[in-house]
Amino acid sequence: MAGQSHSPTRSHPDGDPAAADDQPADSSMLKPAAQLTLMRYLQDLPDADIPPSPVQPRYHTGRLPNNKAGDGKPRLLLMGQRRSGKSSISSVVFHKLPPSETLYLETTTRIKKESMHSFMDFQVWDFPGHLDYFDPAFDVDNIFDEIGALIWVIDAQDEYLDAIVRLNATILNLHQTYPNINVEVFVHKVDGLSDDFRNEVIQDITQRVMDELSDNGYENAPVSFYSTSIYDHSIFDAFSKVIQKLIPQLPTLEALLDSLIRNCHIEKAYLFDVLSKIYIATDTSPTDIGSYEICSDYIDVVVDVSEIYGWDRGDDEAQAGNNENAINDAESLITLEKKSNNYLYLREINKYLALICLMGDDSPADKKPLIDYNVGVFQEALAQVFPRGEK
Ligand X SMILES: Nc1nc2c(ncn2[C@@H]2O[C@H](COP(=O)(O)OP(=O)(O)OP(=O)(O)O)[C@@H](O)[C@H]2O)c(=O)[nH]1
The residues of the shown chain that bind ligand X, judged by CB under 6 A, are 80, 82-88, 102-103, 105, 107-108, 128-129, 188-189, 191-192, 229-231
- Asked if 209 and 168 touch (Cβ cutoff 8 Å), the reply is yes
What's phi and psi for 97, nearest 5 deg? -70, 130
Closest approach of Cβ 70 to ligand X, in Å?
31
Find the shortest distance in angstroms from Cβ 218 to ligand X: 26
The C-alpha atoms of residue 52 and residue 222 are separated, in whole angstroms, by: 30
Q: Nearest CA to 384 among 165, 60, 125?
A: 60
Nearer to ligand X, 21 or 283 (CB): 21
**Closest C-alpha to 184, from 154, 142, 219:** 154
Burial of 11 (0-12, 13-18, 19+ CB in 10 A): exposed
Least spacing, CB of residue 135 vs ligand X, in Å: 17
**Residue closer to ligand X (CB basis): 153 or 253:** 153
* For ligand X, the closer CB: 159 or 316: 159
In the bound state with ligand X, the residue whose beta carbon lies nearer, of 235 and 359, is: 235
Burial 174-184 (b: 16+ CB within 10 A, else e): bbeebeebbbb
Closest to ligand X by CB, 105 vs 147, is: 105
Q: Which is nearer to ligand X, 33 or 78 (CB)?
A: 78
Element (H, E) at 64: none
CA nearest neighbour of 241 among 250, 249, 232: 250
CB of 129 to ligand X, least distance (A): 3
- Given the complex with ligand X, which of 66 and 81 has the nearer CB atom? 81
Q: Which is nearer to ligand X, 9 or 206 (CB)?
A: 9
Closest CB 244 distance from ligand X, rounded Å: 21
- Name every residue whose Cβ is closer than 8 Å to that of residue 308 and which is 6 or more positions away in sequence: 33
Angle between helices 234-244 and 86-95 (to 10 degrees): 80
* Helix intervals (H) in the chain: 86-95, 140-144, 161-177, 195-215, 234-244, 250-264, 289-309, 315-319, 368-385
Minimal distance, residue 172 CB to ligand X, in Å: 22
Least spacing, CB of residue 144 vs ligand X, in Å = 19
Rounded to a whole number of angstroms, the minimum distance from the CB of residue 78 to ligand X is: 8
Dmax over Cα atoms in the chain, in whole Å?
67
276, 94 contact by CB (below 8 A): yes
